[in-house]
Chain A
Amino acid sequence: GAVVSQHPSRVICKSGTSVKIECRSLDFQATTMFWYRQFPKQSLMLMATSNEGSKATYEQGVEKDKFLINHASLTLSTLTVTSAHPEDSSFYICSAREDRGPGELFFGEGSRLTVL
């Protein structure tokens, strides 16, 4: 099946720094990717829809300036958590919708961010 890779899988940073998480579709093109946030023992909450070549669409309550999304190519979307604070610590998961065929969604393995 199609593979979506996230990097880094784990990152620890100091409060006030910025962290970039990459989401790559390894063997397919994805015009549309999604970023989710998962709190411990809770479900996934959609943060934003990333569109190649255009601005991301953010869900209500998600700070655009806090969570910068760039979808620079058909295989790469990045999420940058700017000026990170401890409350930004979470598990971030991306998914990519395959452009061809029925447009199935494939999920990355997730990135755990810990802000000290």
Chain B
Amino acid sequence: AQSVTQPDIHITVSEGASLELRCNYSYGATPYLFWYVQSPGQGLQLLLKYFSGDTLVQGIKGFEAEFKRSQSSFNLRKPSVHWSDAAEYFCAVSAAGANNLFFGTGTRLTVIP
């Protein structure tokens, strides 16, 4: 069965510091992997996605993620966090051609001045 684990419920970082949000997945086939961001009371915005090819994926707003098959991970990174990055971040997985996305429980990011 598919599952997505985001082990960190809440992370606090200082503005300008680097960020890494963890995501581990369990999937029988080759996964499609996604990171979404959700601001309070808002819908989801796609940050980046991995389907195949280069395992280091660049996204919007300066985010990147690296797919590591051996570790079943797809961690999200940003070298320098901005106050506007404070939000909820969701990792999600689906199969090629599948309709459904399975979401992790999310990581809430707080940015302090």
Contacts and interface: CB of A to CB of B under 8 A. Distances in A.
B98 to A, nearest CB: 10
Contacts, number: 45
A109 B105 contact: no
List of 4 A-B pairs having minimum Cβ-Cβ separation, nearest first? A109-B43, A107-B44, A107-B43, A43-B103
Count class of interface residues, chain B: 10 to 19
Nearest to A105: B101
Majority secondary structure of chain B interface residues (helix, strand, loop or mixed): loop
Interface of B: 36, 41-46, 51, 90, 99-101, 103-106, 108
B43 A97 contact: no
Given A43-B106, A107-B46, A110-B42, 14 more contacts: A6-B43, A32-B99, A41-B106, A43-B104, A44-B90, A44-B103, A49-B100, A93-B44, A95-B101, A104-B46, A106-B46, A107-B43, A110-B41, A110-B43
A110 B40 CA distance: 11
A49 B51 CA distance: 22
Chain A interface main SS type: strand
